[in-house]
A and B are shown apart, each in its own frame.
Chain A
Amino acid sequence: DVKVTQSSRYLVKRTGEKVFLECVQDMDHENMFWYRQDPGLGLRLIYFSYDVKMKEKGDIPEGYSVSREKKERFSLILESASTNQTSMYLCASRDGADTEAFFGQGTRLTVV
């Protein structure tokens, strides 16, 4: 079974803190994605990566950065957390464009 594992299920951070969300996949997938999910807005793409050290901005990259030093790991970084970044964050991976996507269990981040 493909596994996409996110490092935390729940996280509470203070405004201004630097926050790291980690995602690891075990199927050697080329493409990895970070989404945030908010009520009424669905899943929105923050960043994606199609190869090691390669990254592309998604639809809402402001306030976020990413790192992909190894193929299996894709990290989302909140440089200075703000309350409007309180959300559910989901990581996904996929091989090619027309292949099935696999999702992590989600990290519910609260910024206070």
Chain B
Amino acid sequence: KNEVEQSPQNLTAQEGEFITINCSYSVGISALHWLQQHPGGGIVSLFMLSSGKKKHGRLIATINIQEKHSSLHITASHPRDSAVYICAVIGSNFGNEKLTFGTGTRLTIIP
């Protein structure tokens, strides 16, 4: 079983819909990243959070440390939001510099 699981693997929605992508992890973490990867390949960090909730424009990320779960929400989705969204965790062991990644959620927004 992967340490970081994302769902769904693929998601297709109509423009304007509210989108939720989920991430569950099985290890202790100090922080969690949400990343976005467009078809060209480059990865952009959307959020890094260790508790509560963060908001940036139409994007909202939440995390529940006790339940080992995080969600990424997109409000009023737009075709330009089409991308792969990746959850990654930073382990809480001292000196653990590594990120552990989920396999990603491919989001397609249809006009």
- Seen from chain A, the residues whose Cβ lies within 8 Å of a Cβ on chain B are 9, 31, 33, 40-45, 48, 50, 58, 88, 90, 92, 94, 97-106, 108
Say yes or no: A42 contacts B41, CB within 8 Å: no
Say yes or no: A101 contacts B101, CB within 8 Å: no
In whole angstroms, how far apart are the Cα atoms of A43 and B12 in the complex?
23
CB<8 Å pairs between A and B, sample of 17: A41-B103, A42-B103, A43-B86, A43-B99, A90-B43, A92-B99, A97-B30, A97-B90, A97-B95, A97-B97, A100-B45, A101-B33, A103-B42, A103-B43, A105-B40, A106-B42, A106-B43
In whole angstroms, how far apart are the Cα atoms of A41 and B101 in the complex?
9
Say yes or no: A48 contacts B103, CB within 8 Å: no
Main secondary structure of the interface of A (DSSP, over half): strand
In the complex, chain B residues whose CB is within 8 Å of the CB of A90: 41, 43
- Given A50-B97, A105-B41, 9 extra CB contacts under 8 A: A42-B101, A43-B99, A48-B97, A58-B98, A90-B41, A97-B97, A98-B90, A103-B45, A105-B42
The number of residues on chain B lying at the interface, defined by a beta carbon within 8 Å of a beta carbon of chain A, is 24
Closest to A43 in B: B101
Closest to A104 in B: B42
In the complex, chain B residues whose CB is within 8 Å of the CB of A97: 30, 90, 95-97
The one of B30, B35, B98 that contacts A98, using a Cβ cutoff of 8 Å: B30
In whole angstroms, how far apart are the Cα atoms of A43 and B42 in the complex?
13
B58 to nearest A CB, angstroms?
Answer: 20
B48 at the interface (CB under 8 A from A): yes
In the complex, chain A residues whose CB is within 8 Å of the CB of B88: 43, 101
